[in-house]
Structures are given as C-alpha cells and as structure tokens.
Amino acid sequence: MRRHAPWLGAALVLAAAGAARAEVKDAADLLPAQTLACVELRQPERLSREVAALVKGSALDDMPAVMAKFREKLGDNDNFWFGSGATSLTLFLSPELISEAGRIQGAAWAVTGVNADGPEMVFVLLAGDSNFPTFVPRTMLVESSYRVAGDAEGVNVYRYRGRVYEPRPNPCVPPAPPKFEESGPYIALLPDAFLLASSLDGAKDVIRRYKGKNSDPALTSLAAYKAAAKLRDRPGLFGFLDVAALADRLDAAGKSLGQAEKRGRPSRRPSTPRPSAGPSRR
C-alpha cells in the first residue's frame, strides 16, 4: 500500500483555502445586492497599458530629466523647494507605478445605505499580483495610532484614535484633561485585499463575504448588473446607480432626522396673557 507524505494533506488544505479566496473575481462580489451606488475600477491591466501608451514620450515618462533641466535654468540659487510636493505627485503617473497598478485585480467604492448619520460607504481593493496596495495600509496601521475596533471571522478591524484639541476660551483657567476619540474610517487588512468602511457593521459584512460566510445576494447577482456585462468588460471606471432606491433612502433618512430634531427641540407653551392692571387707588 502506497503512503502519501504527511505534509501532502496540509498542502491540499492550503490549496483549497487559496482556491476559496480566488472565487472573489470582482470587488462588486463583496457588496450587498441593495447597494445604492457603486463605482468600479475595471480591467486595470488593460487600463494601465493604455495609460502607459499615453504617457510614453511625455515629460511624465522621464520626470527626473525634466526637473534636472529646470533646476539648471534656475541656477545654484534654486528656491524651487516649495514645488517639490507638487512635482512628487507626478510619481503616481511614473512608468513604475503605472505598471504596478496594472497588477491590481480591481477596486470598488459604494454607497450601501443611508441612515440618520449619513451615507454608509465602503471601499474595497483587491490587490491581485501587486503587493503595493496592501503594503501601504499595513505601514499606516503600524506607524499611526490605530486601535482594534472589532473583528469578524478572525480579521481585525481598526480605527484611528487620537487626541481632540479644543479651544480654551479663558487662558487663565487650567486646561481640561486631554480627551481622546475614535475618528475616521474603519480599516481591515485581508491576505490579498484591504477595505475602508464608514461603519463597523459595513466592514464586517465585506469580511464575511470575502471569507464566504455570508450567503446573501451580492451586487453582481442583480439582473441590471449582469445586463451591463459588456460595459463592465471595458477598461476604466464603471458606475452603477439605483436612483429610485437612493431617493427613497434619502427621503426616509430626512424624515427620521426631522422627527429627531422635533423631539429634541423644547416645546413652546402658549404664553397666558397677563391681566391688565386696573386703575390704581390712592
């Protein structure tokens, strides 16, 4: 009887886990079917080739040479240091980053709902073969003051916690104790993706869909989304908007907000007229 190596079973388990993650082909697969609006980044590889062709031969293609010639014209008394921040933005259209962007699998930004606090938003980026999209948020989570706000399926969800600086109306009065609050989006880092969400529940929903623990219909299951397959196959940005549902949600959120304001507003009692003073008697 032939025996298999003891590590073969573990390798098969890891391969199966990798195959389960590979089922997420589109970022829209991680969004709920009741999504109100969505913008997808489609076909990044083809899009990067088109952008690279446009940039080829331009100043952006060899920005170091362009800046070197510009500094020669300025001479040794170069005071162009204030423009370094602006010129550094051109690096996002450098050949290296354009090529790296083509390795991304896809991304999507969506409004998944509306409540009294405002729109529920989610941003999902599938890294694909690129390490850059997950390395940047990992660095941010390590270096900045982020705390664990919750977790879902073994994945931590982080949120920034920092000091709130309030003005001192009277400098002669000792300052109040420092106050710290959580602010900003909720962030989760997955093996080959990362997400931003405006609420903890929104982040947990995306994580469960990524892990295959949520069987609720996704945005890509809608008939309207399937009918737009040819449009989604084009490189660039694809937008989806459910106008009727978005209008209904905004109306409902506006009504609930108005009712909350009425409940919090002090009631005004009709003032009772004072009796008029009669003629004084002396």
Domain-by-domain residue ranges, the chain? Answer: 26-73+87-167+179-260
| 18 or 83: which leads in pLDDT | 83
Q: What is the pLDDT of residue 84?
A: 66
* DSSP designation for 76: S
In the predicted model, is pLDDT for residue 7 greater than 50? no
Range in 34-48, 115-129, 214-228, 253-267 the model is least confident about: 253-267
Cβ atoms < 10 Å from Cβ of 127:
20
Smallest Cα–Cα separation from 101: which of 58, 46, 57, 28? 46
Instruction: Read off the amino acid at residue 197.
Output: A
Instruction: Read off the amino acid at residue 124.
Output: V
Quickly state the pLDDT bin for 20 (edges 50, 70, 90): very low
| 115 or 161: which leads in pLDDT | 161
In the predicted model, is pLDDT for residue 29 greater than 90? yes
| 51 or 265: which leads in pLDDT | 51
Q: What is the pLDDT of residue 68?
A: 84
**Average pLDDT of the segment spanning 102-107:** 94
Q: In 3-state terms, what secondary structure has residue 107?
A: strand
**Average pLDDT of the segment spanning 100-104:** 92
Longest Cα pair distance anywhere in the chain, in angstroms? 128
| pTM of the entire predicted model | 0.74
CA distance 164 to 31: 33
| Complete edge-to-edge strand list for the sheet that includes strand 37-42 | 146-152, 155-164, 179-190, 193-197, 118-126, 106-115, 37-42, 236-241
Q: Which residues of 48-75 are buried (b: 16+ CB within 10 A; e: fewer)?
A: beebbeeeeeeebbebeeebeeeeeeee
